[in-house]
């Protein structure tokens, strides 16, 4: 079986499982029924966090050799967070290519592994919302606010939560 066929079967299986047994905190489906490699995910802001009450849309783009390589995750809703680039791309360890980190910051065990599923990816993203990592920031301005001006950070997050509610 070629890698693309394997990826398609695995993604169909994961989508079927999530449809049958939804996971708290997010819902997932295809952007286009004809493309199993592009998923639309709605993330509920985790309870007891600054993102509580928000509904954030995200696109997961899977490579043809999934699960050997990680998908890319990108919020299409506004997101103010140290680990989300200004264009919405999510920067967390499990979405980084497998193997040794060329910068030496992450252990290989923290990076992508073929055992990850859509469920584990989304749980990691939800966890990221609960616990920003300002040491390895994708959005330097958000990280600076998180470290040095928590009230400003809270204000900007509250604005993104309100905007996400208006998009519903």
- Residues recognised as catalytic: 91
Q: Is 140 exposed, middle or buried (0-12, 13-18, 19+ CB in 10 A)?
A: exposed
Sequence-separated (6 or more) residues with CB below 8 Å from residue 125: 43, 58, 73, 90, 92
User: Which run of H or of E encompasses 75?
Assistant: strand 72-75
The number of CA neighbours under 13 Å toward the Cβ of 8 is 9
């Amino acid at each position: 079986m070629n890698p693309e066929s394997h990826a398609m079967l695995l993604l169909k299986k994961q989508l079927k499982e999530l449809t049958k047994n939804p996971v708290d905190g997010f819902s997932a489906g295809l952007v286009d029924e004809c493309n199993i490699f592009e998923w639309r995910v709605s993330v509920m802001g985790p309870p007891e966090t600054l993102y509580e009450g928000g509904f954030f849309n995200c696109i997961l783009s899977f490579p043809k050799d999934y699960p050997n390589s990680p998908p890319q995750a990108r919020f299409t809703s506004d997101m103010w967070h140290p680990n989300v680039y200004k264009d919405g791309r999510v920067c967390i360890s499990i979405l980084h290519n497998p193997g040794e980190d060329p910068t030496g910051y992450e252990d290989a065990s923290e990076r992508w592994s073929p055992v990850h599923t859509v469920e584990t990816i989304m749980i990691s993203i939800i966890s990221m919302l609960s616990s920003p990592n300002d040491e390895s920031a994708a959005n330097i301005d958000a990280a600076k606010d998180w470290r040095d001006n928590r009230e400003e950070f809270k204000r900007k997050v509250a604005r993104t939560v309100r905007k996400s509610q208006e998009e519903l």
